[in-house]
Chains A and B, each alone.
Chain A
């Protein structure tokens, strides 16, 4: 592994960014027959430490500062670049993840690599340490600014609206019995609340409560609806289904009590902890149910700073 890329975020970017995103496309090249006496001028003029050598469009070698110094020290006669260049050139492809470039730089101790197009092996650019650093910084800055703007816009929604009272309503439709899609509403709500700048622990508690309620809905009912009303002081969540109803709500609230079928238990649900979990996550909860008609769970989570507890009550 690369010793100096320890920060997880940078490593992530190293996989996300491709070599082509950070390479220098400004192609400065020489031919094999270029005389060595001209190399110094090219290196100096462009402030680079190595030049790809191109013959009929193909990369045949690299001539670098070290080659030039060796030639000067030897006080040999002028000769062509071809005689002094390194021919076994380590290259990268434009579509490789940046992390490969970083690893190779470290592995070989070089300062630059020629970059080729994978299809035709033609030179597309060069990659340097400075280029990599510049590319990473740019990407970090873009990500940061995008996140800032998104976060700013959403979290100031309440302040930007002019009204005596403002609230946002999010509605999610849930399909029962579809286990693969179960939890999509909870996931969507979680992302939405985050975007609104809600405190992470509040987001977490609301997401867990909605997820448990959504699972119950999927297990027992054919369809239902989740309505979330967010205002500056609280989140109100209403989960309503057209399922069979709960015969004894008090019993259903007891930890470990469950009427879930075996197939649900085998999926890691229906162990009778759901309602209990919801209760631990919300500040207030009401369950009403009519046999044969459906069940309605109403929950409140306070978000106003002074009345908030950030801990999930009790432990499992």
Chain B
């Protein structure tokens, strides 16, 4: 599935890098611990997190993740958006909590294993 389809299907608010939504999503990963994502995130993953700190962009870029979805309707910090723009990492916000969003993504065919 492409990022673009997700945005419509799950009512995600795009914060930046809207031009990079053609990318295919390979899988999903949920974590609020940056070290865990650095160790276990895989290229093309959709990363679901509560963290809004600018360091999330660095991690996503390092691991070549497809996008970041921030949950519980939390708004990313300004410098996080700024950094994500420069790095070309799409950041989206969902009103749902992690469990519910992941459940729906999972039902839509985005798996956590590959």
Q: What bracket does the count of chain B residues touching chain A fall in? A: 10 to 19
Contact B72 A316 (CB under 8 A): yes
Contact B35 A266 (CB under 8 A): yes
* CB nearest neighbor in A for B33: A266
Contact B32 A271 (CB under 8 A): yes
Residues of A within 8 A of B72 (CB): 316
* CB nearest neighbor in A for B76: A256
The CA-CA distance from A255 to B53 in the complex, in Å, is 12
Contact B77 A256 (CB under 8 A): yes
Residues of B within 8 A of A255 (CB): 74
Q: A256-B74, A316-B72 are in contact. Are A271 and B34 (CB under 8 A)?
A: no
Q: What bracket does the count of chain A residues touching chain B fall in? A: under 10
Q: In terms of DSSP, what is the predominant structure of the interface of chain A?
A: loop
- At the interface, yes or no: A8 with Cβ under 8 Å from chain B? no
Contact of B53 among A265, A268, A316 (CB under 8 A): A265
Contact B52 A256 (CB under 8 A): yes
- At the interface, yes or no: B51 with Cβ under 8 Å from chain A? yes
* CB nearest neighbor in A for B97: A316
- At the interface, yes or no: B50 with Cβ under 8 Å from chain A? yes
Query: A258-B53, A271-B50 given. 10 additional CB < 8 A pairs?
Result: A255-B74, A256-B77, A265-B34, A265-B53, A266-B35, A268-B32, A268-B33, A271-B51, A316-B72, A316-B97
Chain A interface residues toward B at CB < 8 A: 255-256, 258, 262, 265-266, 268, 271, 316
Chain B interface residues toward A at CB < 8 A: 32-35, 50-53, 55, 72, 74-75, 77, 97
